[in-house]
Amino acid sequence: MAAQGLMLTLSDIAAQLGGDVLGNGQTPIWRVATLASAGVGDIAFLANRKYRAQLQSTQAAAVILAPSVAEEFSGPRIVVANPYAYYARVAGLLNPVHQGFSGVHPSAVVASALPPGVAVGSHVSIGKGVTLGQGVVIHPGCVIGDDVVIGAGSVLYPNVTIYHGCRIGKRAIIHSGAVIGADGFGFAPDGRDWIKIPQIGVVVIGDDVEIGANTTVDRGALDDTVIGDGCKIDNLVQVAHNCHIGAGSVLAGCTGIAGSVTLGEHCIVGGAGMISGHVTLAPGTTVSGGSLVMKNITQPGLYTSVFPIDKHEEWVRNAAHIRRLSHLAERVSELEKKLKEISSND
């Protein structure tokens, strides 16, 4: 069971978030919960129709419902077009983030003027020429390089590193261990040696972006690496130098994006998806988890390149057939030519 948050009535919630209240608007709500686990003081939601039958047995104090099923629950309810998104907003309303500290900790090393209202935790290092917006929260152990800009309302969790010159928009959330602006993987071959190419671009992150724990976004070699407004990036994701990630795109955990990739707006890459360098994905493209993208995708849609799991012996046998496909295609082409010759002779 989730921890108890603030207490609001259904009418309080609707007044702040919208929606139509049916039933007792004074029903007290403390927590959000699933239909199966909800009890007194809990508000549940129905977003997946396969759980529809649980509306008859749930013990929830209230339920968030779409208009099409609003009459299938007789208790107090809020009716909205998108119950899942509404549930997310209710959860945020009942569980506001508590940073646990305020002001600038005495152990922080700060070489820039800070505006009032920012919170800087213990052992934070802030370089020269840094600009922080109102309400920025920097948790313990973070390192902010020279000339970094962080927009109002952004939160950096412990041990985030922002390299010099990078720019982060408003209301960003960057989780522990993330590294923004490390050098891109750029080396020029010179015989048996590799000559490091200076990475002189920066990382530019838009507004309302969330970046997961231990994710890395590399600075550009010449141009900047850009993460558009509203992008959501999961844990352990690699975004290489010079990438442009379109606004509203989502990258699930362990995704790897090579250099100079361009994702259009509202692309989705499933967990462990891999995008080869210099590839462009059309806006609205979805890549299934574990897929490898090696060429441009020009039309939006769902794309998958995962080879289905099988018993090892069967997988090896099928893989051997796949390796022979080009040879088989040539033989089929030859046979088709012979058939045409025979038909023409007849």
- Which are the catalytic amino acids? 241
**Residue from 25, 24, 65, 21 nearest 54 by CA:** 65
DSSP 273-315: -EE-TT-EE-TTEEE-TT-EE-S-B-S-EEE--PPPP--HHHH
Eight-class DSSP state of 249: -
- Quick one: tokens of 1? 């069971």
Bridging pattern class, strands 8-9 and 20-22: unpaired
For the chain, the distance separating the N- and C-terminal CA atoms, rounded to the nearest angstrom, is: 80
Is residue 206 classed as helix, strand or coil in its secondary structure? Answer: coil
User: How far apart are alpha carbons 153 and 165 in whole angstroms?
Assistant: 19
> Which helix (DSSP H) or strand (DSSP E) does residue 329 occupy?
helix 325-345
Chain mean position to CA 98:
22
Tokens 């574990």 belong to which residue?
Answer: 290
- Crossing angle for the helix pair 83-94 and 10-17, nearest 10 degrees? 110
DSSP 54-123: GGGT---SEEEE-GGGGGG--SSEEE-S-HHHHHHHHHHHHS----S--SB-TT-EE-S---TT-EE-TT
